[in-house]
Amino acid sequence: MTQHLTNQTAYGLVPLYLEDIEIGQRFTSDRQRVDLDAITTFAAQFDPQPFHLDDEAASATLFGGLAASGWHTAAITMRLLVTGPLRIAGGIVGAGAEVSWPKPTRPGDELVVKSEVMDVVRSRSRSERGIVTVRSETLNQHGEVVQTMTAKLVVPCRTVAPALPGRAGA
């Protein structure tokens, strides 16, 4: 089943519980512009490498010009996920992720995150929650993917079911 979920009511976004989430659901965030000052400020504090701080120094690197830190792109992605329609009850709590940066984020880029639910598993041992696997692509204004992330999210259940006997689950 593939559907686009807006997760909206007349009053705005509503929190999602495990029972509300299905494989194939898609979510699209708002957009955020990344300016030169934000790139260099983040880099100065968290990733002070020349290709994140100085355009001239960056031109001689494999980036061929100033590029945002991948961790800056990841932080923007997180912001867009948290404020977007994938509004998990209790917040977005990660249980692990795989991240890659196929293209650099550049000054002036406008980023958007498109996510799809890949798997939903209710815990066998912890009946109050489950694990949802979400694949997200962060794209720039040209539709180029600047980050991919597959994350396992801990999602609470609306209703607590009795624990199932047998092997431990998520």
pLDDT digits (tens, 9 = 90+) for 100-109: 999 999 999 9
Average pLDDT for 136-163: 92
User: Amino acid identity, residue 129?
Assistant: R
pLDDT, tens only, 38-62: 999 999 999 999 999 999 999 999 9
Per the structure, the complete domain to which residue 104 belongs is given by 3-33+69-156
Tell the residue number behind the tokens 């002036």, with chain if given. 108
Residue 46 lies in a domain: no
Residue 129 lies in a domain: yes
Is the separation of the CB atoms in 2 and 142 below 8 Å? no
Please classify residue 1 by burial: count the beta carbons closer than 10 Å to its beta carbon, then call 0-12 exposed, 13-18 middle and 19+ buried: exposed
Residue 132 lies in a domain: yes
Predicted structure pTM score = 0.86
Residue 120 lies in a domain: yes
pLDDT, tens only, 77-106: 999 999 999 999 999 999 999 999 999 999
Residue 55 lies in a domain: no
Has residue 124 got a pLDDT over 90? no
pLDDT of residue 126: 87
Residue 105 lies in a domain: yes
Residue 123 lies in a domain: yes
Residue 127 lies in a domain: yes
- Tally the domains of the chain: 1
User: Amino acid identity, residue 155?
Assistant: V
Domain at 130, CATH number: 3.10.129.10
Record the tokens describing residue 70, joined without a space.
């991948």
